[in-house]
């Protein structure tokens, strides 16, 4: 008969525990992207066709066509120049309203480019009239 | 004068409680992590420069997805354009802070976006955020 084998005491090795936990911790730290939603905030006009009479002097028309060309006050300009132009106008007339109109086939990116440029110029009054 | 030197206490970080602390942190991060990302349509967000963080609390943000072919999805349901205001109006009535996060594809045509915006106006959901990625 064989002698009974001595069993080693059953125990979880605790020295490597923290290593394992650290590894898991790092994994979850990396995976958890605190999903912050970033974007351009705008305020839509209230419902209804409330015609607000505006002095034509206080309106700047920004038209975007289906190929992304920008007509800024009846003048074709590159998108990147909108910020500078808008700053000038805003400085000379604080009541200036920028009205952005697009074609129904305009790409969303082109529209966002224009809104982005106007936001960069700290435009306070932005009217998004929509499509023609 | 012979002052007995105090025996120095052993220096060293106590490692016995270390794993407890780490596990606690681990559980915190596991609980805080939502592996489920926002569901909806597959969109490629437009790029913009002057983007800012959304300042509305998360529970008041409603995502509206529009993909490049013009499909509209709210709360994992595909909708027609005309039904958007009906879906949003009750939500808007219950929540003053409701902000619409418009997640639209770069290539989406403005016609659809504009229709959705008009529906949002009808539902008095006027705070809109155009989701974009940094350039």
Q: Predicted ipTM? A: 0.71
How close B114 gets to chain A, by Cα (Å)?
A: 5
Question: Residue B111 and residue A29: Cβ atoms within 8 Å?
Answer: no
> Distance (Å, rounded) from C-alpha A32 to C-alpha A28?
6
CATH architecture of B47-134: 2-Layer Sandwich (3.30)
Question: Residue A41 and residue B128: Cβ atoms within 8 Å?
Answer: yes
Which one of A19, A109, A132 makes the best mutation probe of the B interface by having the most chain B beta carbons within 10 Å?
A109
B54 touches chain A (CB under 8 A): yes
A54 touches chain B (CB under 8 A): no
Give the start-to-end residue ranges of the domains of chain A.
56-131
Please give the average per-residue pLDDT across B8-15, as a whole number.
71
Which one of B105, B110, B131, B134 makes the best mutation probe of the A interface by having the most chain A beta carbons within 10 Å?
B110
Give the start-to-end residue ranges of the domains of chain B.
47-134
pLDDT in the model for residue B38: 58
pLDDT in the model for residue A7: 76
State the residue for tokens 């966002």: A112
Question: Residue B32 and residue A32: Cβ atoms within 8 Å?
Answer: yes
pLDDT in the model for residue B34: 64
Is the Cβ–Cβ distance between B56 and B99 less than 8 Å? Answer: yes
Which fold is adopted by the domain A56-131? Nucleotidyltransferase; domain 5 (3.30.420)
- Show the tokens assigned to A25: 């911790």
Tell me which of A109 and B57 has the higher pLDDT. A109
Is the Cβ–Cβ distance between B115 and B87 less than 8 Å? Answer: no
Tell me which of A10 and B81 has the higher pLDDT. B81
**B residues 115..134 contacting A (CB < 8 A):** 117-118, 120-122, 124-134
Asked if pLDDT for residue B40 goes beyond 80, the answer is no
Asked if pLDDT for residue A102 goes beyond 80, the answer is yes
B107 touches chain A (CB under 8 A): yes
Helix (H), strand (E) at residue A131:
strand A126-131
Chain A residues within an 8 Å CB radius of B128: 41-44
pLDDT in the model for residue B37: 57
Tell me which of B15 and A104 has the higher pLDDT. A104
pLDDT in the model for residue B97: 86
Please state the pTM of the whole predicted model. Answer: 0.72
Asked if pLDDT for residue B93 goes beyond 70, the answer is yes
Query: pLDDT tens, A40-81?
Result: 888 887 776 666 667 777 888 888 888 888 888 888 888 888
Please give the average per-residue pLDDT across B16-21, as a whole number.
79
Chain A residues within an 8 Å CB radius of B48: 39-40, 112-113, 115-116
B85 touches chain A (CB under 8 A): no
Tell me which of B20 and B39 has the higher pLDDT. B20
Chain A residues within an 8 Å CB radius of B17: none
Share of chain A above pLDDT 90, in %: 1
Tell me which of A23 and B11 has the higher pLDDT. A23
Q: What one-character DSSP code corresponds to residue A15? A: T
Q: Per DSSP, which regions of B1-135 are E strands?
A: 47-48, 52-53, 61-66, 72-74, 77-79, 99-104, 127-131, 133-134
pLDDT in the model for residue A104: 87
Looking at every residue in chain B, the average pLDDT score rounds to 83
Query: pLDDT tens, A116-132?
Result: 888 888 877 777 766 66
């Amino acid at each position: 008969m064989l002698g009974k084998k001595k069993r080693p005491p059953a125990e979880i090795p605790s020295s490597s525990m923290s290593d394992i936990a650290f590894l898991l911790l790092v994994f979850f730290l990396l995976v958890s992207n605190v999903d912050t939603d970033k974007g351009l905030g705008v305020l839509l006009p209230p419902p209804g066709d409330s015609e607000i009479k505006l002095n034509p002097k206080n309106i700047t028309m920004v038209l975007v066509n289906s190929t992304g060309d920008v007509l800024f006050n009846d003048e074709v300009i590159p998108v990147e120049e909108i910020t500078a132009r808008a700053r000038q106008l805003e400085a000379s007339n604080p009541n200036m309203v920028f009205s952005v109109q697009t074609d129904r086939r305009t790409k969303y990116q082109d529209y966002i480019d224009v809104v982005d440029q106007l936001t960069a110029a700290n435009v306070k009054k932005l009217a998004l009239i929509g499509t023609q | 004068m012979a002052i007995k030197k105090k025996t120095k206490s052993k220096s060293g970080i106590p490692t016995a409680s270390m794993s407890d602390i780490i596990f606690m942190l681990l559980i915190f991060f596991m609980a805080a992590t939502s592996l489920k990302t926002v569901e909806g349509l597959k969109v490629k967000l437009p790029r913009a420069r002057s983007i800012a963080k959304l300042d509305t609390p998360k529970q008041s943000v409603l995502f509206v997805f529009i993909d490049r072919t013009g499909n509209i999805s709210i709360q994992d349901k595909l909708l027609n354009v005309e039904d958007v205001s009906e879906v949003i109006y009750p939500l808007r009535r219950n929540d003053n802070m409701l902000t619409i996060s418009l997640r639209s594809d770069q290539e989406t045509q403005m016609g659809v976006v504009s229709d959705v915006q008009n529906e949002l106006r009808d539902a008095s959901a006027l705070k809109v955020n155009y989701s974009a990625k940094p350039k």
